[in-house]
């Protein structure tokens, strides 16, 4: 409930919302005290994006300075790896020692990113680009940095790097097309896990990294079938079907969790309607790739009142549908019929929900 009340930007809005909920007998007692993390308030998501970009830029300048001043570092793989580990260790010490000092935090971020860059460069010089050892070492380093370094932006970036390393590791291991399914299940498990609230400093940036990686993996899948065509490997031919099925399973589990939280019996008409609509939309996701992933993010966003995930899900939904419309593999008439069927299904689901939940329409009209 506190998450819902956080949407009010002013105390008057929170009090008005609590009063309306009390009148409907949805809550009882006094308005709970809003616990606010000063660090999270002072750094909104767009500020964190700009700080992350500044960290990348600072890391590039730092790498250029070290590379020019110490040319032997760029010539020796062992020296690059050692310098990278040393910079990452220095960054860990700085992050642990500084508190609420923006300049030192951004300097620490740049030092860590530069250290990771040197570490990657040394590994690439030491191993081949298609070596499993290369991506396994990167994955281990990024996981250690994610766990040890207590900074939101740093954990977000290292989580993304770890996901990318895991993706290429699966590719080199011969497992193709299942990354989006694994990410969908991970996003679902993390957002419904109590650890996200108990250890928010650690798991919150990881959860956002998983959500963005899920959208990117669905988008990157559009070009992969062109490279898989003509091969005899079963994983490469049908891997995307397995990945899409895992995403659909994650969406179905999310709907079941919402029904359980609302204390609706699975034999009730509302639960049957919700599950039937989910199955229908999952069927459309095999024709329009990415639909289930976008709907999963939107469902999680509504369930936990998260605007960032809601915006990401809406953007992903529009992007995936637009990409499907401009594909050249099928005729325009076929794509128009599919999109018309999808739109008709969504309108029918909305009409059914308003019939089954008439109080939802009343709440919308009254502006609660």
Question: What are the pLDDT digits (tens) for 175-222?
Answer: 777 788 889 999 999 988 887 877 888 888 999 999 999 888 876 654
pLDDT given at position 143: 92
Domain-embedded: residue 170: no
Domain-embedded: residue 345: no
Domain-embedded: residue 207: yes
Q: Which domain holds residue 221?
A: 176-323
The answer to whether the beta carbons of residues 144 and 119 sit under 8 Å apart is: no
Domain-embedded: residue 229: yes
Per-residue pLDDT tens digits for 291-327: 888 899 999 998 888 888 888 988 888 888 787 777 7
Identify the CA nearest to 211 among candidates 310, 109, 357: 310
Q: Which residues of the chain have pLDDT under 70?
A: 1-14, 25-26, 28, 31-49, 51-75, 100-103, 129-130, 219-239, 328, 357-368
Q: Note if the pTM is more than 0.85.
A: no
Domain-embedded: residue 286: yes
316 Cβ contact list (under 8 Å, min separation 6):
215, 218, 290, 293, 294, 297
* Count of domains forming the chain: 1
Domain-embedded: residue 256: yes
Domain-embedded: residue 214: yes
pLDDT given at position 41: 41
């Amino acid at each position: 409930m506190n998450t819902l009340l956080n949407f009010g930007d002013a105390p008057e809005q929170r009090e008005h919302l609590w009063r309306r909920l009390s009148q409907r007998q949805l809550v009882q007692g006094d308005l709970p005290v809003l616990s606010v993390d000063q660090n999270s308030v002072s750094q909104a998501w767009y500020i964190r994006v700009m700080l992350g970009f500044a960290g990348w830029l600072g890391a590039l300048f730092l790498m250029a300075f070290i590379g020019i001043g110490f040319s032997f570092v760029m010539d020796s793989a062992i020296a690059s790896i050692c310098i990278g580990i040393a910079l990452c260790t220095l960054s860990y010490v700085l992050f642990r020692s500084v508190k609420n000092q923006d300049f030192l935090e951004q300097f620490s971020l740049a030092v860590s990113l530069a250290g990771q860059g040197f570490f990657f460069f040394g590994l690439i010089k030491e191993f081949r680009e298609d070596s499993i050892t290369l991506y396994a070492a990167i994955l281990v380093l990024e996981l250690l940095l994610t766990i040890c370094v207590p900074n939101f932006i740093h954990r977000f970036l290292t989580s993304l790097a770890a996901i990318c390393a895991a993706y290429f590791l699966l590719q080199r291991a011969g497992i193709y097309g299942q990354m989006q399914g694994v990410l969908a299940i991970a996003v679902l498990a993390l957002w419904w896990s109590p650890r996200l609230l108990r250890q928010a400093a650690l798991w919150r940036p990881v959860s956002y990294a998983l959500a963005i990686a899920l959208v990117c993996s669905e988008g990157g899948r559009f070009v992969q079938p062109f490279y898989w065509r003509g091969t005899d490997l079963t994983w490469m031919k049908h891997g995307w079907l397995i990945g899409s099925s895992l995403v659909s399973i994650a969406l179905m589990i999310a709907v079941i969790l919402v029904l359980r939280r609302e204390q609706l019996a699975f034999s009730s008409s509302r639960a049957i309607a919700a599950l039937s609509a989910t199955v229908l939309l999952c069927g459309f996701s095999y024709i329009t790739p990415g639909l289930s992933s976008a709907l999963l993010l939107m469902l999680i966003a509504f369930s936990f009142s998260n605007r960032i995930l809601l915006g990401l899900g809406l953007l992903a939904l529009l992007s995936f549908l637009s990409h499907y419309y401009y594909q050249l593999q099928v005729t325009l008439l076929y794509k128009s019929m599919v999109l018309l069927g999808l739109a008709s299904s969504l309108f029918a689901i909305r009409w059914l929900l308003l019939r089954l939940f008439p109080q939802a329409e009343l709440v919308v009209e009254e502006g609660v």
